[in-house]
């Protein structure tokens, strides 16, 4: 059953990657559906494992199944909460978008808390390497090669309350899924 969890996470990451590359957005429908599917998967997996134990439970099977479903729910919620909390911190710092926060909650519901932490760490490292590469080749070249995207809403003259500070600054960003995919692969390999 462990492979089904990895397959569910891989499907989620693939769909999010395609969406993020095309539109710089990860749809809420995808995130919420994946979150619900991850929770249901862990509940079903826990029930299946409990009912197929080599040592039979002395309690009635329904009670054992409900207890197992509760444990699966806790596992999925711990992963979802971990992913949400980690990315919410990065969101508050302006490093990721809101879709990435919800994506990591959904991903955490599939892979659990410990794997979500590893995936987030590797994704942050991959994002740093990608950003460094873009700095080395230069912003203009990176935008021209479509490695970076200038945020059209922020382009042009932008004045802050502090006497024109940041005037004319163009903000560039890239789809975070470019870093999440290698981060997830690294987390699963190590």
CA distance linking residue 182 with residue 45, whole number of Å: 27
What pLDDT is attached to residue 155? 41
Evaluate whether residue 139 is within a structural domain: no
Evaluate whether residue 127 is within a structural domain: no
Weakest-pLDDT range from 92-106, 122-136, 164-178: 164-178
pLDDT digits (tens, 9 = 90+) for 72-101: 999 999 999 999 999 999 999 999 999 999
Structural domain span for residue 100: 2-120+176-189
Evaluate whether residue 48 is within a structural domain: yes
Evaluate whether residue 138 is within a structural domain: no
pLDDT digits (tens, 9 = 90+) for 31-65: 999 999 999 999 999 999 988 876 666 778 888 88
Evaluate whether residue 96 is within a structural domain: yes
Q: Is 73 helix (H, G, I), strand (E, B) or coil?
A: helix
Q: Domain count of the chain?
A: 1
Q: Which residue has the tokens 């590893």?
A: 118
Evaluate whether residue 126 is within a structural domain: no
- R_g of the chain, CA atoms, integer Å: 20
Q: Which residues pair with 150 in a beta bridge?
A: 172
Full-model pTM: 0.85
What pLDDT is attached to residue 156? 39
What pLDDT is attached to residue 159? 40
CA distance linking residue 157 with residue 127, whole number of Å: 28
């Amino acid at each position: 059953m462990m492979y089904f969890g990895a397959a569910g996470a891989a499907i989620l990451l693939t769909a999010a990657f395609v969406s993020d590359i095309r539109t710089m957005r990860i749809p809420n429908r995808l995130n919420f559906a994946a979150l619900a599917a991850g929770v249901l998967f862990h509940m079903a997996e826990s029930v299946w494992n409990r009912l197929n134990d080599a040592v039979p439970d002395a309690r009635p099977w329904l009670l054992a199944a409900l207890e197992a479903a509760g444990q699966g729910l806790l596992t999925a919620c711990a992963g979802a909460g971990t992913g949400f909390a980690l990315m919410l911190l990065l969101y508050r710092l302006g490093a990721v978008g809101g879709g990435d926060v919800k994506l990591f909650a959904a991903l955490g519901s599939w892979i659990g808390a410990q794997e979500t932490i590893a995936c987030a760490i590797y994704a942050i490292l991959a994002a740093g390497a990608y950003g460094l590469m873009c700095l080395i080749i230069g912003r203009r070249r990176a935008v021209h090669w479509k490695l970076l995207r200038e945020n059209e809403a922020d382009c042009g003259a932008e004045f802050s309350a502090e006497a024109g500070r940041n005037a004319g600054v163009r903000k560039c960003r890239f789809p975070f899924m470019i870093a999440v995919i290698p981060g997830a692969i690294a987390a699963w390999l190590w």
